[in-house]
Amino acid sequence: MARVVITGGAGFLGSHLADELLGRGDEVVAIDNLSTGNNANIEHLFALPGFTFVEHDVSNYVWVPGDVDAVLHFASPASPVDYLKMPIQTLKVGSLGTHNTLGLAKAKGATYFLASTSEVYGDPQVHPQTEGYWGNVNPVGPRGVYDEAKRFSEAMTMAYHRSHGIDTRIVRIFNTYGPRMRLDDGRVVSNFIVQALKGDPLTIYGDGSQTRSFCFVEDEVRGLIALLDSGEHHPVNLGNPNEFTIRELAEIVLEVTGSSSVIEHRLLPTDDPTQRQPDITRARDLLDWEPQVQLREGAERTVAYFRSIV
């Protein structure tokens, strides 16, 4: 049993992580400033004795009284729509927020777990992406606020590991979807599902030939916990390697929802990566982890969630 701090604990991934950790008997202190997180995601946890919620922005000094065994830094806007709306907050939580939470882990002698991203690879010129690839990021483009914040946070985490001997983990999360994404999250899976359920046009940005590899949240969280429990300090990709074009995703969503929504094309956002697929050899070898839920089943389960809230 451990006492675990999760920043971004009211968010999509943070709240699922809280569920899993509490389920196995850990205590959880969730910290969130609710800028993109939502109390509804953790409402069911407030009655549990092992759960504490603190509303706080970890870009400011952060302190948690008592023993802490692990600090999981998941706080950040993660949808392009959100981080383009909040560019400076995104840079701050990835830089200052990472520094502050590393400081907390150091003071407590806790394990530090950084939620990084496939965006560190930018618009990748190596396909699929291995952890050894250094990426192709435009530092001054609009997406740079997220990509560079996460690249900095990886560098900072490794510096704390090397200089202060902190026990650290770095996960590079590839497109993850599932229940508890916000209706207005803005990412492609939730956008298409909500549009299909409302009978609105599905908005494909560009011609839809760009690819992504979509991981169901349950698989992702299982991998995150396996990585936390491992002793691995180098970055590990966690995502489902099955790759789809955005056009294919739109077709699957239309089939699963039975919607007759039409497709509308919109402008492709600046620096939108043309392809993305994780090489998960390291996760397989180190964690014995393999995603089990494929896109159609994951889409069905996500549609069921959105039907209940649309």
- Contact letters for ligand UDP, residues 185-204 (x by CB under 6 A): --xx--x-----------xx
Nearer to ligand UDP, 225 or 253 (CB): 253
- Please name the residues in contact with 27: beta carbons below 8 A apart, sequence gap of 6 or more: 1, 2, 3, 4, 50, 51, 52
The distance of closest approach from Cβ of residue 214 to ligand UDP in the complex, given in angstroms and rounded to an integer, is 9
| Four-point Cα dihedral 284, 70, 7, 309, nearest 10 | 60
Q: Are 21 and 221 in contact (CB under 8 A)?
A: no
**Token pair listed for 139:** 């530092």
3-state DSSP call for residue 224?
A: helix
Q: Which stretch binds ligand UDP (CB under 6 A): 43-51, 98-106, 161-169, 268-276?
A: 268-276
The distance of closest approach from Cβ of residue 269 to ligand UDP in the complex, given in angstroms and rounded to an integer, is 5
Per CB under 6 A, 142 contacts ligand UDP? no
The distance of closest approach from Cβ of residue 190 to ligand UDP in the complex, given in angstroms and rounded to an integer, is 8
- Give yes or no for a cis peptide into 273 (omega within 30° of 0): no
CA 277/CA 215 separation, integer angstroms: 11
Per CB under 6 A, 212 contacts ligand UDP? yes
With CB under 6 A as the contact rule, the residue among 50, 205, 226, 286 that binds ligand UDP is 205
Per CB under 6 A, 269 contacts ligand UDP? yes
- Please name the residues in contact with 44: beta carbons below 8 A apart, sequence gap of 6 or more: none
Nearer to ligand UDP, 100 or 261 (CB): 261
The distance of closest approach from Cβ of residue 37 to ligand UDP in the complex, given in angstroms and rounded to an integer, is 18
Tally the residues of the chain.
310
Q: What are phi and psi of 220, to 5 degrees?
A: -60, -45
The active-site residue out of 83, 121, 146, 160 is 146
3-state DSSP call for residue 197?
A: helix
Per CB under 6 A, 210 contacts ligand UDP? yes
Cα Rg of the chain, angstroms: 18
Does the active-site annotation cover 146?
yes
With CB under 6 A as the contact rule, the residue among 246, 256, 295, 303 that binds ligand UDP is 246
The distance of closest approach from Cβ of residue 74 to ligand UDP in the complex, given in angstroms and rounded to an integer, is 16
Nearer to ligand UDP, 15 or 175 (CB): 175
Q: Amino acid identity of 261?
A: S
CA of 218: how far to CAs of 224, 246, 273, 274, 293, in Å? 10, 22, 25, 26, 8
Per CB under 6 A, 80 contacts ligand UDP? yes
Q: Which residues are catalytic?
A: 146
Provide the binding-site residues for ligand UDP, judged by CB under 6 A. Answer: 79-80, 175, 187-188, 191, 203-205, 210, 212, 246, 268-269, 272
